[in-house]
Structures are given as C-alpha cells and as structure tokens.
Structure 1
C-alpha cells in the first residue's frame, strides 16, 4: 500500500459491488457519462479482463479506476492486444500519483498474464513516463484518424516488436469511435 496525502492507497481488482461507485467516478472525472457507459459495455463483452480492471481506494472509498480490455491487431495475423481505456481519478484526488500507480500496477499485471502489447489513446506527456511510444514507430495504426503522438503502444512481452497492423477495438468501443470519427469530419 502506498500513500496519498498521508492516507494509505490500496489497489485491487474491481468487484461487482464497486460498479456504482466506478460509474460515478468516471462521470465526475470526465464531466459526462460516456466513459461510465463504455466501462459497463466492456464488462458485458468478451473483451473484459476482470483482473485488469483495477480500483484505487483510500479509506474504503474508490478514488481511481483503470480498465484494460482486449482488442485485436489485424495485420499479417490477427493478434489479441490490450487497450488501456479508460483511466479516471476523482477530481479532488488528481495529481497525487493515483493514476500513475494504477497504470504501473496494470502494466505489471498485463506483463504477468503474458500479454505482448498495450495500446492507449491519450496524452503523450503523461503516458510516455510509462514507456508508451507513438504506435506509428512500430507500424501500428489507429482505426480512426487521431494525432500520431496520441496513439501509443507499450511493448510488454517477447516479440511484441514484431507485431504490425491496424488496431481493432472491441465492439464495446463502437459509440466512442463513432463520436471521434464524427468529431474529425
């Protein structure tokens, strides 16, 4: 257990009893319910990985959440890869290292499970501290137009540098992708 503002932080896999608090956390962190709905859709899909859905607690209150789910890298072969999305921390607990601890623990768990690659669409300055690099360097494409620097990958397994192709998100992401595609048009 680590500390935030002197209070111990516990990171653990999410449980069914956490779902309401997690939905509220995402709604507060993002100022809308899209991410909360995305998490719910992922949970009800084959892309969901229960031990890679983590919460951060302080005094038994959920203050952060991260979700890794499966997508596919479609190239010469079709290979399952992890997608990090979403990551949220309650506004009053942001900038205290909680998100960082969630990402680090999630990446360790992903590596331990034998996964080869994690993708993320996010802020390059933030995710580069964990070793994420622009996906274009590895010949990995986003399924929709995004800034090159924002679509990143982290190699977590052996031979992951040999993977190439276009990411295919799980169907749970369809609404998010559609919104992003329309925003670009």
Structure 2
C-alpha cells in the first residue's frame, strides 16, 4: 500500500520535492525515506508527513530519526508553520509532536484521536485563528 501511495503522491500537485528525502546505505541503495506533502488547515497551507519508512534490515541505527530531523529542519527552513502526522505518540513525542487538539487542530478522522499529532515550527503563530480547524491531507491519502 505504501508504494501505491508514494506513486500517487508523486503525481499530485501537493508533492514537494524539497521535502521528499531518502537515506542511502553504504552501497548507494535506498534504505529509508520520508515524504512531506501539502496539506491544509482550512485554507492555510501546512504539511502532512508520511509515509516514513526504513528497510527492516537497517532499522535501529538512527536512520529514521535522521530522516525525521532532516525533514523537520527543511520544513522549518522553508517557513512552514507546522507538520502533521498520524502515528504512535510514544514514538513521535521525542521529535516534538503533540496531540493535534492541543493546538486546536482536529484530525481528518476524529477516531484517530491522540494518534493524529502536530509539530509546530518557527513560523507557527499560536495567536492566528486560521491555524485552528480540521487538517486535510492531499487527495491521494483518501483514496489509497
């Protein structure tokens, strides 16, 4: 399913090449990747992170953490206000993600609850009411 989603994302307007990152192993093989695509909170642009993955034979070596830190740093440098994702709070909390409702952002599916999380970046303005509401992923997420 992840390969299908990536193919769909690459072909849509929400694809952001500067935020599509890969990690290579010593022989140049791809051992991990992370993707951020354009999402929205109402009409305000934001980022949806995912999928992120590391080949099972290379897990536990910090590759996923390096990809996450690089993606967040790049998003911050590009002036994005926040990054949203669906994932395990116990894992993503270490990267500064918090439950989206702490920021007044509701998940696309209310059943996601605490698993839908947000990481604010330097351009985030907590007083901006436009940064509250329902987060919407780009269209391929709803199809795949």
Query: Does the alignment reach a TM-score above 0.5?
Result: yes
Question: Deviation of residue 137 (structure 1)?
Answer: 0.5
Question: Deviation of residue 148 (structure 1)?
Answer: 2.0
Partners of 2:15 and 2:32 in 1: how far apart? 18
Q: Secondary structure at the match of 1:45?
A: coil
Q: Deviations over 1:79-104 (max 9, x none)?
A: 01000010000011112110000000
Q: Does 2:35 align with 1:67?
A: yes
Residues 9-20 of structure 1 mapped to structure 2, 5 A cutoff: none
TM-score by length of 1: 0.73
Evaluate the alpha carbon distance shift between residue 146 and residue 94 of structure 1 in structure 2; reply closer, same or farther with a 3 A threshold.
Answer: farther
Partners of 1:174 and 1:151 in 2: how far apart? 15
Q: Secondary structure at the match of 1:46?
A: coil
Q: Does 2:93 align with 1:128?
A: yes
Q: Which of 79, 91, 107 pairs up with 2:44?
A: 79
CA contact under 8 A between 1:117 and 1:160: conserved in structure 2?
Answer: no
The structure with the greater share of residues assigned to helix is 1
Give 1:38's aligned residue.
5
Q: Secondary structure at the match of 2:70?
A: helix
Partners of 1:82 and 1:160 in 2: how far apart? 15
Select the structure with the greater relative contact order (CA < 8 A; seq sep ≥ 6): 2
Partners of 2:86 and 2:75 in 1: how far apart? 17
TM-score by length of 2: 0.93
Tell me which structure has the larger Cα radius of gyration.
1
Report how many aligned residue pairs link the two structures.
Answer: 140
CA contact under 8 A between 2:76 and 2:123: conserved in structure 1?
Answer: no
Structure 2: which 5+ runs fail to align? none
Q: Does 2:13 align with 1:56?
A: no
Question: Deviation of residue 145 (structure 1)?
Answer: 2.9
Give 1:19's aligned residue.
none
Structure 1: which 5+ runs fail to align? 1-33, 177-185
Alpha-carbon RMSD: 1.1
Evaluate the alpha carbon distance shift between residue 146 and residue 157 of structure 1 in structure 2; reply closer, same or farther with a 3 A threshold.
Answer: farther
Runs of 4+ in 1 over 4 A off after TM superposition: none
